[in-house]
A and B are shown apart, each in its own frame.
Chain A
């Protein structure tokens, strides 16, 4: 539960960063989809499941030390590459060609990328069918 709350606060902070950068569409999507749908789903599942599960007590797997070392190495390597990149400065809304406000973005999005938009609906339908299939196969194996 603490992980979920920490993740929600992290996503809300990221949404704040997007809003400050002027990418309002992404900020709105972040709050609506991630915090509003995905994390609420997650919190429901956490409430459904048993908290006295052994994996809540013995939290870490055998990979604890190599995992941390590998993560630190990855963060260090990526950080060095970011430092080498130089530091161009983003100025939100400073006369750049595309506008990330909701209305211009939507118009541009549906004009240029309408095929992708339709394909995402196909993907979502496939996901829904797959979820239903998983649940039905589970019921069949139960009884």
Chain B
């Protein structure tokens, strides 16, 4: 037995925490992990709505989000590694020459 409001509230709190993390922190890896936290919050909201409406498509969408998260991490980690190798720093405020 679970309360939809509680689950949705947890999902909103997780999303806000992830957003604050992305905005506030300077470390690129920590920002990536906060993005994962936001994706987790969205997945929790999707599962909640899917359970509430009793349809399967929410769970299918969750599967697609998992795949997208895996692809995102697989691309983002090499980018972060290259950036940290070029700038010898993980500080996003040092990445001021991203064009070209």
Contact = CB atoms under 8 A, between A and B. Distances in A.
Which of A22, A71, A92, A126 has most chain B Cβ within 10 Å? A71
A74 B84 contact: no
A14 B16 contact: no
B44 A17 contact: yes
Contacts of A11: 40
B24 A67 contact: yes
B56 to A, nearest CB: 4
B89 A53 contact: yes
A18 B100 CA distance: 44
Contacts of A138: 78, 81-82, 85
B54 to A, nearest CB: 4
B23 A130 contact: no
A49 B90 contact: yes
A98 B89 contact: no
B2 A123 contact: no
Interface of B: 1-5, 7-10, 12-17, 19-20, 23-30, 32-33, 36-37, 40, 43-44, 47-48, 50-52, 54-56, 59-60, 62-64, 66-75, 77-82, 84-86, 89-93
5 contacts: A4-B33, A61-B26, A71-B19, A78-B12, A78-B16
Interface of A: 3-4, 7, 10-11, 14, 17-18, 20-23, 25-26, 29-30, 33-34, 37-38, 41-42, 45-46, 48-49, 53-56, 58-61, 63-64, 66-68, 70-72, 74-75, 78-79, 82-83, 85-92, 96-98, 100, 105, 108-109, 112-113, 116, 120, 123-124, 126-128, 130-131, 134-135, 138, 141-142
